[in-house]
Structures are given as C-alpha cells and as structure tokens.
C-alpha cells in the first residue's frame, strides 16, 4: 500500500464532460485529495494518473487523511485477500467521515469495477465508485459526489479505447518511474479477474510512451519500468514491444529500462535479441509460470506447455548474459493433485528462479474457473503446498545471493536503506536490492551508479561496501 500526492502540471486535451454535471472548478479549487493504493504497479501508476488528472482541475494534495476533503482508495481485486483488506480499510475510514461529514470517500480501480454492488451494500457510506477506464472524468465525478448526499456517484463503464493519451501522471521525484504502455488483457486465464476489471487489451501509442519517457528523463529519473498486464504482447499498429524498446533505448538520461509483466509465449526471438543487445534493458525478467503440470496449465488456459516454458527459459539464459528470473506460482488450482503440485515444486527446484511470488488459488467471480470448476483443494492443503514452496524458494534465493559474495556489482542508488539511515540502498542491473554503508562525506546520492563489493547477504538482499 502506498500513497501519492498530486501535481499541477497536466493537460487534458480529451476532457469528456458528457453524462454528469459539468465541473465546477470554483467548488473544487484547493480541495485536498489523499490517494491510497493497493495492488500491482499498474495500480500505483494509475494513482499517479489520477493525481495528475485531479491536479489539473485545481485539486491539491493532502499530506494526511485527517486534512483531506477527498480520500480515494485505489483497489485491487486479483485475490480475495486484497479485497478483504480494502473492506477492512473502508470500515476504518468511516471514522474520518464521522469526524468530517463533508468528506468524500471514493473507491477506484479493479474492485470498483468488479464489486460495485457489494461495495454499495457493505460500505453504503462510500460516496464514489470509479472503474479503471473512467479516470478522465474523475474531477467531475468527485465534484458531483461533493454535492450529492444520497446515492453514491458511480462510473464503472469500460472503454476499449481508453489509454489516457496526453495526460501527465503525477510522479514523485525519484530514481525510477513507471510508464503504462498497455491497458487491459486479452488472455483470459481461467483464474484471472483482470480482463473483467480492466477490459480488453490495447496499446498506448508509441509516441505517447516516448513522450512520457522523455519527460521523466528530463526530470532526472534514471530508470523506467514499462507496465502492461502482458506487456510483451504490446502492439500498436506496426509497432511491437521490441520496436518500442528500440525507441526508448536512445532517450538521453534513461539508463535502465525494465518491464513487467510479460506473458511467456509472447517472447519472440526478436524481443529476446533486443533485450540481449542493449545494456540499458535490465537483465531481469519476471516470467509467470503458474504451474509445471501440463494438465493444470491447460485448465488455467495458459496457452503454453511446461516444455515450451522450459525451452524459453533455456533460450533466454543462453542469449541474455547474467539473466535473473522471477516467477508467479499458484498452488491449489481446482483439481491440482499432489503429483501435479510436486511437478511444480520439482521444476522450481530445477530452474532455480531468483525470486518467486507464490499464491494460494483464490476463486474470483466471473472467471471461467469460478463458473465451471470446483474450488476443490482444501484450504489446509493449499496452505501446506504454499509453505512448502516458499521454504524451498527461500533457500534457492539465498543460495543465488550467496553466489554473489566476493563479486563487485554496479548499483543504481535509490536512497537510504529502509532499516538504517546510515546505509544506502540500490539495485543491481538484475534487480537485487543492495545495501552498503553511506560514505562519511555523503558524496553519494540517489541516482548515482556505484560499484559495491559484496561481502554478505540475506535471502533477498546483497550487503557490501563501496568498492575501491
Ligand atoms: N488466485 C490466486 N492467484 C492469482 N493470481 C491471479 N489470479 C489469481 C487467483 N484467482 C496471481 C497469478 C498472477 C499474479 C499477478 O497473481 O500468479 O500472475
């Protein structure tokens, strides 16, 4: 969960005032908005987008919930646990409404899209429900919600063409920035709610992506992370994802380019070559495997076999020097047997991912799996399977980190380490967090590249000292 303040430097050339009352800028000028974000990086990027859109109409950033006129909770629906957290949070926020009856409390993002009825029923004090394709109307909708007392203001219409071209998301200064290059998803994995909450896949025009990358480079960001649900299936007219990378590589100031999340079989040889050829493109890829049983993959409708996945990993490791890989795994998908689970565990052990995000299957409404399959793996078994792969993966991650001890790594410094202000933290080219003591003369700052001699590690962090 994180928060974004607003900015005041965006343009909205496509304002669409149809449907609700026109904006009343006088009413909203200076009104303070607080945005709290749950879920994926796409959601964090969307919060920045909302911040930019609202700032253009005169809203300002609230430093805290207490001083805000508007609180927006930008939500995630991918698993039930994310949803539960948001409902918990909303009931907590009711207290702010008691203290300030004028406060507008809004729910945006994937849960808004998917659960509008449930939100209205379980949290009737919510004033505003806005889905991921309705953010350009957010200023009007908030203004409307400020006026109305009875029913919540709702806009959850999906819009197949909406890519928010021309807006400038509010980005806090830093070392890395996100740029959304694709919205929606067309894959329809049977477990996944995203196509229902974010609509169909569409690419952001390449010139818009380049404009945003140039903007962030001018502001001093060193790293860009390109975002899309299946980012490497990006397409815009004749431009594919490899072409898009080629357009970003030459931008002055952008020294590292990363992207997430790719879809395994949409890695073309051309794309692998492009990644291998450019130092700017990070040697770290997230490659969601989900399962290593062909039967389960088929029921998940993942469109690849275990053999194809393994072949891809091998080709990538051959061609991209020093490649680090992470993955997503779901345990306890409907019908997953002990043996099928064991296949997943065995392949994880064999492929040795640097890192893995591991989940228990969670039934999501509207998905094919929810409609057609029984959620038949008992919770206790799901838990057991999850614990067992987490423990194994921890060991693998630690061993991979240990293998770096004694090497020197180039680190892009991000700032003070979370735990200790006397230390700095940054990332290697293959995405490993690296922590080292801050030099006494304070000569190093965020955005610098430094060489760090690695002397120790934990399972996820390299520890070291400045080289030389
Ligand atoms: N249950 C559990 N995990 C899920 N994911 C997506 N949908 C579900 C679900 N219904 C996981 C997948 C995906 C990641 C973002 O979240 O592993 O890659």
Q: Which domains does the chain have, with CATH numbers?
A: 2-155 (3.40.50.12160), 173-282 (3.30.750.210), 289-403 (3.30.750.200), 408-466 (2.40.50.140)
Ligand 1 mean position, distance from CA 191 (Å)? 7
**Is the CB of residue 76 less than 8 Å from the CB of residue 2?**
no
- Indicate the top mutation candidate among 192, 291, 358 to test ligand 1's pocket, ranked by most ligand atoms within 8 A of CB: 192
Ligand 1 mean position, distance from CA 31 (Å)? 37
The pLDDT value given to residue 26: 58
Ligand 1 mean position, distance from CA 315 (Å)? 26
Atom 6 (ligand 1) nearest CA: 192
Mark 149-179 as b/e (b = at least 16 C-beta within 10 Å). eeebbbbbebbeebbbeebbbbbeebbbbbb
Atom 7 (ligand 1) nearest CA: 192
Nearest ligand 1 atom, CA 193: 7
Contacts of range 346-352, beta carbons closer than 8 Å, 24 or more positions apart: 346/292, 347/289, 347/292, 347/306, 347/310, 348/289, 348/292, 348/389, 348/392, 348/393, 348/396, 349/392, 349/396, 351/310, 351/313, 351/325, 352/396, 352/400
Ligand 1 mean position, distance from CA 194 (Å)? 10
Nearest ligand 1 atom, CA 363: 10
Nearest ligand 1 atom, CA 360: 2
Take residue 405 and report the two structure tokens written for it.
Answer: 């001890």
Distance, CA of 400 to CA of 326 (rounded, Å): 12
The pLDDT value given to residue 8: 24
Among 354, 346, 350, CA closest to 325: 354
Burial of 403: CB neighbours in 10 Å, binned 0-12, 13-18, 19+: exposed
Distance, CA of 181 to CA of 229 (rounded, Å): 10
The pLDDT value given to residue 354: 98
Distance, CA of 347 to CA of 264 (rounded, Å): 16
Residues in the chain: 468
Residues 6+ positions from 207 with CB-CB distance below 8 Å:
none
Burial of 296: CB neighbours in 10 Å, binned 0-12, 13-18, 19+: buried
Ligand 1 mean position, distance from CA 330 (Å)? 6
- Indicate the top mutation candidate among 328, 336, 370 to test ligand 1's pocket, ranked by most ligand atoms within 8 A of CB: 328
Other CB atoms within a 10 A radius of the CB of residue 388 amount to 15
Atom 13 (ligand 1) nearest CA: 328
Backbone angles phi, psi at 424, to 5 degrees: -105, 155
Identify the segments of the chain with pLDDT beneath 50: 2-25
Residue list, ligand 1 pocket, CB within 6 Å: 78-79, 191-192, 288, 290, 328, 330, 359, 361-362, 364
Ligand 1 mean position, distance from CA 6 (Å)? 30
Ligand 1 mean position, distance from CA 66 (Å)? 34
Nearest ligand 1 atom, CA 191: 10
**Is the CB of residue 181 less than 8 Å from the CB of residue 234?**
yes
* Whole-structure pTM value: 0.93
Distance, CA of 118 to CA of 129 (rounded, Å): 11
What is 349-399 written as a DSSP string? HHH--SEEEEEE----TTSHHHHHS---S-HHHHHHHHHHHHHHHHHHHHH
The pLDDT value given to residue 19: 31
Backbone angles phi, psi at 43, to 5 degrees: -70, -40
Find residue 37's DSSP bridge partners: 2, 74
For β-strands 433-437 and 423-428, DSSP reports them as antiparallel
The structure tokens 């009007």 sit at: 140
Left (φ > 0), alpha (ψ -120 to 50) or beta: where does 442 sit? left
The pLDDT value given to residue 148: 64
Atom 12 (ligand 1) nearest CA: 328
Ligand 1 mean position, distance from CA 359 (Å)? 7
Atom 16 (ligand 1) nearest CA: 78
Ligand 1 mean position, distance from CA 20 (Å)? 35
**Is the CB of residue 51 less than 8 Å from the CB of residue 169?**
yes
Atom 17 (ligand 1) nearest CA: 328
């Amino acid at each position: 969960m994180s928060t974004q303040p607003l900015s005041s430097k965006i343009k909205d050339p496509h304002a669409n005032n149809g449907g609700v009352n026109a904006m009343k800028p006088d009413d909203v000028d200076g009104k303070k908005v607080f945005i709290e974000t749950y879920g994926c990086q796409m959601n964090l990027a969307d919060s920045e987008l909302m911040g930019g859109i609202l700032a253009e109409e005169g809203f300002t950033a609230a430093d805290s919930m207490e001083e805000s006129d508007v609180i927006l909770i930008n939500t995630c629906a991918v698993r039930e646990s994310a949803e539960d957290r948001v409902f918990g949070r909303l009931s907590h926020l009711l207290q702010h409404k008691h203290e300030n009856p004028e406060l507008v409390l809004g729910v945006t993002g994937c849960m808004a899209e998917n659960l509008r009825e449930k939100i209205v029923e379980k949290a009737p004090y919510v004033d505003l429900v806005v889905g991921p394709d309705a953010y350009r109307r957010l200023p009007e909708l908030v203004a409307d919600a400020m006026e109305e007392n009875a029913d919540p203001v709702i806009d959850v219409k999906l819009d197949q063409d909406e890519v928010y071209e021309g807006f400038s998301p509010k980005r806090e200064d830093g070392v890395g920035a996100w740029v959304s290059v694709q919205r929606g998803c067309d894959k329809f994995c049977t477990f996944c709610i995203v196509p229902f909450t974010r609509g169909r896949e569409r690419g952001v025009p390449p010139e818009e992506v380049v404009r945003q990358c140039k903007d962030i480079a001018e502001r001093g960001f060193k790293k860009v992370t390109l975002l899309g649900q299946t980012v490497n299936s990006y397409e815009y007219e004749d431009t594919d994802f490899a072409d898009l990378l080629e357009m970003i590589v030459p931008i002055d100031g952008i020294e590292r380019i990363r992207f997430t999340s790719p879809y395994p079989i949409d890695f073309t040889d051309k794309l692998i070559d492009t990644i291998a050829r450019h130092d700017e493109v990070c040697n770290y890829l997230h490659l969601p495997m989900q399962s290593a049983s062909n039967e389960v993959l088929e029921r998940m409708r993942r469109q690849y076999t275990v053999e194809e996945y393994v072949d891809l990993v091998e080709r990538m490791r051959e061609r991209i020097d020093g490649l680090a890989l992470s993955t997503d795994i779901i345990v306890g998908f409907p019908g997953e047997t002990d043996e099928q689970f064991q296949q997943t565990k065995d392949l994880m052990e064999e492929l040795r991912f640097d890192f893995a995000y591991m989940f228990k299957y969670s039934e999501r409404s509207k998905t094919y799996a929810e409609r057609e399959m029984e959620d038949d793996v008992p919770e206790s078994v799901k838990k057991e399977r999850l614990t067992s792969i987490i423990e194994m993966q921890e060991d693998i991650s630690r061993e991979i980190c240990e293998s770096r001890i004694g090497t020197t790594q180039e680190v892009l410094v991000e700032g003070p380490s979370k735990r200790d202000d006397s230390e700095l933290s940054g990332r290697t080219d293959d995405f490993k967090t690296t922590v080292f003591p801050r030099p006494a003369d304070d000569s190093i700052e965020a955005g610098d590249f430094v060489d760090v001699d690695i002397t120790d590690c934990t399972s996820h962090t390299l520890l070291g000292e400045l080289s030389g």
